[in-house]
């Protein structure tokens, strides 16, 4: 029986960066029809995603960076992550379960996340990956604001799609501007997504036995709400990876 059970076991090769991307399953319908949320973006939804991201980074894996935009989360694992022997199906099933439970608990509705693993051979690909997701965030949020602008005017979903399909980024910006929305003034979490990483903080304590002060270093999770973009974002990801290649959690 073991041979059957293990016949589709795969492991992610050592020395390869692992990124896991979790995505809310069927969230277009749930966010539009089932849950009463502000459209296109709702701070309560975003807070539930941030809480889920934090949970994923604190639930026993060795992660170095987490990123969330819309209904998706990307997690970058430390190169020496060896939980479950880097078995693909264990990582996928545990991560999607952890995300689903954390998000459902926070938002108060049952919700499910899928998960895929993206093995990346070097730092350059990791940087490209995160730039790609951030650019996706920009495209999606611009699209969502244009879409809901018309939907709120009572235009049907299919007609809205026809009206905005084929518009360039500039034209979408102008469309919003002509309706009193300056895209660049919208909250950064909507336009760029947010990131999370660990920082070391020094804490001064007092030892009552030796009657001496001691300094210890505490690791805490920091949420960056104002991520840079483009080359600056690339530098940000690169320095995070470099810093983490020396430190072990
Ligand atoms: N109302 C609302 N919807 C959101 C928010 N964030 C993401 N969504 C929606 O979540 C959906 C995510 O897209 P996608 O993953 O492609 O759709 P899925 O395959 O149905 O989960 C989109 O329809 C977004 O508009 C939010 O803050 N508020
Ligand atoms: Mg989704």
Whether 123 lines ligand 1, by a CB cut-off of 6 Å, is: no
- Nearest C-alpha neighbor of 133 from the set 187, 57, 71, 80: 71
Q: Which atom of ligand 1 is nearest to the CA of 29?
A: 20
188 and 204 belong to one structural domain: no
89 and 137 belong to one structural domain: yes
Whether 26 lines ligand 1, by a CB cut-off of 6 Å, is: yes
Q: How far is the CA of 13 from the centre of ligand 1 (A)?
A: 33
- Nearest C-alpha neighbor of 130 from the set 207, 228, 40: 228
141 and 41 belong to one structural domain: yes
Distance CA 80, CA 86 (A): 10
Is residue 144 in some structural domain? yes
Is residue 59 in some structural domain? yes
Q: Whose CA is nearest to atom 27 of ligand 1?
A: 41
202 and 188 belong to one structural domain: no
Whether 24 lines ligand 1, by a CB cut-off of 6 Å, is: yes
Distance CA 33, CA 93 (A): 28
40 Cβ neighbours under 8 A, 6+ residues apart: 141, 144, 145, 147, 148
The model's pLDDT over 185-238, given as tens digits with 9 standing for 90+, comes to: 999 999 999 999 999 988 888 888 888 888 888 899 999 999 999 999 999 999
- Average pLDDT on 43-71 reads 97
Residue 208's pLDDT is what?
87
Q: Please determine, for residue 247, whether its predicted confidence score (pLDDT) is greater than 60.
A: no
Residue 198's pLDDT is what?
97
Q: Please determine, for residue 182, whether its predicted confidence score (pLDDT) is greater than 80.
A: yes
Residue with tokens 């941030």: 50
Is residue 202 in some structural domain? yes
Q: Please determine, for residue 246, whether its predicted confidence score (pLDDT) is greater than 80.
A: no
CB atoms within 10 A of CB 14: 10
36 and 156 belong to one structural domain: yes
Distance CA 119, CA 20 (A): 9
Q: Which of 33, 40, 51, 136 to mutate to test the pocket of ligand 1 (most atoms within 8 A of CB)?
A: 40
Q: Which atom of ligand 1 is nearest to the CA of 26?
A: 20
122 and 175 belong to one structural domain: yes
138, 233 Cβ separation under 8 angstroms:
no
78 and 104 belong to one structural domain: yes
Whether 45 lines ligand 1, by a CB cut-off of 6 Å, is: yes
Residue 249's pLDDT is what?
41
Q: How far is the CA of 144 from the centre of ligand 1 (A)?
A: 9
Q: How many domains does the chain have?
A: 2
Whether 40 lines ligand 1, by a CB cut-off of 6 Å, is: yes
Question: And the tokens for 57?
Answer: 């980074």
156 and 232 belong to one structural domain: no
Helix H or strand E encompassing 131: helix 123-151
Which ligand has the shortest distance to the CA of 136? 1
203, 216 Cβ separation under 8 angstroms:
yes
Q: Which of 22, 23, 31, 107 to mutate to test the pocket of ligand 1 (most atoms within 8 A of CB)?
A: 31
Q: How far is the CA of 226 from the centre of ligand 1 (A)?
A: 21
Q: Please determine, for residue 248, whether its predicted confidence score (pLDDT) is greater than 60.
A: no
192, 137 Cβ separation under 8 angstroms:
yes
* 3-state DSSP assignment of residue 197: strand
Choice among 20-24, 64-68, 78-82, 212-216 with the minimum mean pLDDT: 212-216
The model's pLDDT over 226-244, given as tens digits with 9 standing for 90+, comes to: 999 999 999 999 999 999 8
82 and 9 belong to one structural domain: yes
Q: Could you tell me the residue range of the domain that residue 176 belongs to?
A: 2-192
148 and 172 belong to one structural domain: yes
- Average pLDDT on 28-42 reads 93
Q: Please determine, for residue 118, whether its predicted confidence score (pLDDT) is greater than 90.
A: yes
The model's pLDDT over 136-178, given as tens digits with 9 standing for 90+, comes to: 999 999 999 999 999 999 999 899 989 899 899 999 999 999 9
98 and 209 belong to one structural domain: no
Global model pTM greater than 0.75: yes
Whether 28 lines ligand 1, by a CB cut-off of 6 Å, is: yes
* 3-state DSSP assignment of residue 125: helix
Q: Whose CA is nearest to atom 7 of ligand 1?
A: 70
Q: How far is the CA of 24 from the centre of ligand 2 (A)?
A: 4
Q: How far is the CA of 133 from the centre of ligand 1 (A)?
A: 15
Question: And the tokens for 112?
Answer: 């499910």
Per-position DSSP letters for 38-87, written without gaps between them: -SS--HHHHHHHHHHHHHHHHSS--EEEEEEETTEEEEEEPTT--GGGGB
HSE of 78 in the Cβ direction (CA atoms, 13 Å)?
A: 19
- Which is more confidently placed, 249 or 21? 21
What confidence tier does 109 reach under pLDDT thresholds 50, 70, 90?
A: very high
- Nearest C-alpha neighbor of 56 from the set 7, 23, 31, 12: 23
205 Cβ neighbours under 8 A, 6+ residues apart: 213, 214, 215, 216
């Amino acid at each position: 029986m073991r041979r059957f059970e293990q016949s589709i076991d795969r492991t992610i090769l050592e020395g390869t960066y692992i990124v896991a991307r979790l995505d809310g399953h069927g969230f277009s319908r749930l966010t539009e029809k089932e849950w009463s949320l502000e459209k296109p973006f709702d701070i309560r939804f975003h807070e539930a995603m941030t809480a889920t991201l934090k949970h994923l980074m604190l639930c026993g894996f060795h992660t170095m960076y987490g990123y969330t935009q819309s209904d998706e989360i990307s997690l970058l694992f430390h190169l020496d992550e060896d939980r479950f022997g880097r078995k693909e199906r264990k990582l996928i099933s545990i991560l999607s379960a952890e995300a689903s439970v954390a998000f459902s608990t926070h938002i108060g509705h049952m919700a499910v996340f899928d998960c895929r693993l993206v093995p990346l051979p070097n730092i350059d690909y990791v940087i490209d990956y995160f730039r790609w997701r951030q650019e996706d965030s920009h495209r999606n949020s611009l699209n969502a604001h244009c879409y809901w602008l018309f939907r709120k005017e009572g235009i049907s979903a299919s007609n809205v799609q026809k009206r905005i399909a084929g518009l360039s980024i500039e034209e979408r910006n102008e469309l919003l501007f002509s309706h009193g929305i300056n895209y660049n003034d919208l909250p950064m979490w909507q336009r760029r997504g947010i990131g999370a990483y660990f920082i070391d903080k020094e804490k001064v304590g007092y030892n009552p036995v030796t009657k001496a002060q001691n300094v210890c270093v505490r690791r805490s999770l920091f949420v960056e709400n104002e991520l840079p973009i483009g080359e600056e974002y690339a530098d940000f990801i690169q320095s995070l990876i470099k810093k983490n290649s020396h430190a072990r959690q």
